[in-house]
Amino acid sequence: MSHMRSVAILFLAVVPMTTFAESNIRFQWRSGEKLQYRVAQDTTVQDTADGQTLATQTKLNLTKQWTVANVDSAGVATLQMSLLHLRMETKKGNGDPIIFDSSKTDSQQAELNKEMLQYIGQPIATLRIDSQGRVIEVKESKFGPASRFTSELPFRLTLPDVGPIAGQSWERTYSVKLEPPQGAGETYDAVQKYTATAINDGIATITLTTQIKNLPEAAVDRISLIPMSPTGVLTFNLKSGRLQKAELKMAAQLAEHRGAGSSFTFSSTYTEEQVER
């Protein structure tokens, strides 16, 4: 084999691998930067039993900020999350809504404000997250259990080892843990599947589905798992290495969860979008 032919074969062998590796997409962390996301979630629950139906509506609006404290040599970032603004409105049946708004100081909300305002404007969670979006460690969680960051990833997805490219699918397996008051520490096996349906102009469109495998037999025991089973579409900016937007839905109907003739309906839409700064 001639020297030139050997070089050509080596070139053909190396170039495709290099090109493919360079296409691998990662989250990009930079020490000191602040990432803000605006969240809107509308949830409706209808619980029917003994011939009566109680409807509860909840509207949640918040702005959260992730501050990158540092990035280690392996590309794992330590991020702190804080809430800059929180508004929550809950209405049961025909009653008056109960509203908490962190920007208001109405005396009628004094007690609720006192409890909730402690979580506004200061770090309430500290996590270590790698460049694929995987949670390596939850160092602190002041607002909810640490296990929630396993079920609900901070940036909603993990990236594949290679790619993604259009048409590619990948999965992550994990455990859902029901902490009090939703449960007593029960765990369930879960898998999330991601599919890159399109990559255009530096933006990847990725669909998300969630399956909890070992659901409890009793319908009433499945209620707390419904909000942990999102489906929807994620938008990822390839250039900035950022989740740009998440549009998710959690919905289910359960029959006879509290005896014959009873039913439970849950429907929630969730939108999270990066705030340009």
11-50 burial, b for 16+ CB within 10 Å, e for fewer? eeeeeeeeeeeeeebebbbeeeeebebbbebebebebbbe
pLDDT mean for each 10 residues of the chain (277 residues): 44 37 80 97 96 95 98 96 95 90 69 75 96 97 92 96 96 94 90 97 97 93 95 97 98 94 97 91
Task: Give me the pLDDT at residue 4, please.
Answer: 45
The C-alpha atoms of residue 195 and residue 207 are separated, in whole angstroms, by 5
The C-alpha atoms of residue 96 and residue 94 are separated, in whole angstroms, by 7
3-state DSSP of the chain: CCHHHHHHHHHHHHHHHHHHHHCCCCCCCCCCCEEEEEEEEEEEEEEEECCEEEEEEEEEEEEEEEEEEEECCCCCEEEEEEEEEEEEEEEECCCCCEEEECCCCCHHHHHHHHHHHHHECCEEEEEEECCCCCEEEEEEECCCCCCHHHHCCCCCCCCCCCCCCCCCEEEEEEEEEECCCCCCCEEEEEEEEEEEEEEECCEEEEEEEEEECCCCCCHHHHHHHHHHCCEEEEEEECCCCEEEEEEEEEEEEEECECECCCEEEEEEEEEEEECCC
Task: Give me the pLDDT at residue 115, please.
Answer: 74
Task: Give me the pLDDT at residue 54, please.
Answer: 94
The C-alpha atoms of residue 146 and residue 99 are separated, in whole angstroms, by 27
Our count of domains for the chain comes to: 1
pTM of the model: 0.87
* Residue 14 to residues 10, 18, 256, Cα–Cα distance (Å): 6, 6, 61
Which residues span the domain enclosing 53?
3-274
The C-alpha atoms of residue 235 and residue 250 are separated, in whole angstroms, by 18
Task: Give me the pLDDT at residue 118, please.
Answer: 81
Task: Give me the pLDDT at residue 18, please.
Answer: 33
CATH number of the domain bearing residue 83: 2.30.230
Q: Which residue in this structure is represented by tokens 């509203």?
A: 99
Task: Give me the pLDDT at residue 111, please.
Answer: 62
Task: Give me the pLDDT at residue 180, please.
Answer: 87
The C-alpha atoms of residue 153 and residue 136 are separated, in whole angstroms, by 11
